[in-house]
Amino acid sequence: MGLIRSLLIALAGAGLVLAAPVSKGWDNLGRLNPGTRIEVVSSRQAETGEFVSSSTESLTIRTHGGERKFLRQDVERITARSQPHRKRNFLIGVGVGAAIGLAVDQTLGRYLRNESNPSSARPIIWGVPIAVCGGIGAAMPGYTVIYRK
């Protein structure tokens, strides 16, 4: 039981590190390269396009319909598709799947072992959530929030 507790503490610690706050200021737009695909969510709509330029007052992107300018006060959030973090997302998914497997094994699995003693159920109880959550994590695209109001 000590190993399981240590695993859960490590997973919780990793979650806190990944959830650490990062600066989401307007100044981050200066780090974007022209042509980077971004999504701009304003108070009226969301628009996807390629980053063209930014100033302290506005942001310009190129969409299918031409260039579009957004005023800073109207922009709620700007996100950019980041480099795929499939390995990281897979490991997070595996951790979530292991936690689900642990919870199911300690509840339903314990009941099944008491009643009918199916030793073949344990690999399913642990394997399915780990595989499903790991697969979902690997399939999730990574998005980086560049600016948030």
- Over the chain, what is the mean pLDDT? 81
Please give the C-alpha separations between residue 11 and each of 14, 17, 106, 108, in angstroms, as whole numbers. Answer: 5, 10, 18, 23
Please indicate, yes or no, whether residues 55 and 72 belong to a single structural domain of this protein.
yes
Of 18-27, 107-116, 121-130, give the lowest mean pLDDT range: 18-27
Q: What share of the chain has pLDDT > 70, as a percent? A: 80
Please give the C-alpha separations between residue 134 and each of 7, 11, 52, 82, 126, in angstroms, as whole numbers. Answer: 17, 14, 36, 20, 12
Alpha carbon distance 102, 87 (integer Å): 22
Average pLDDT over residues 123-138: 87
Residue 144 lies in a domain: no
Alpha carbon distance 138, 38 (integer Å): 22
Residue 1 lies in a domain: no
How distant is the alpha carbon of residue 14 from its chain centre?
A: 14
Instruction: Give per-residue pLDDT as tens, 102-120.
Output: 998 888 877 777 777 666 7
Alpha carbon distance 125, 102 (integer Å): 8
Residue 41 lies in a domain: yes
Residues 6+ apart with CB under 8 A from 128: 101
Residue 121 lies in a domain: yes
Average pLDDT over residues 48-65: 92
Please indicate, yes or no, whether residues 75 and 90 belong to a single structural domain of this protein.
no
Domain ranges, residue 132: 85-139
Judge whether residue 136 has pLDDT over 70: yes
Judge whether residue 10 has pLDDT over 80: no
pLDDT at position 16 is 46
Token look-up 């003693």 returns 117
| Final residue belonging to a domain, choices 81, 101, 124 | 81
Instruction: Give per-residue pLDDT as tens, 83-103.
Output: 677 888 889 999 999 999 899
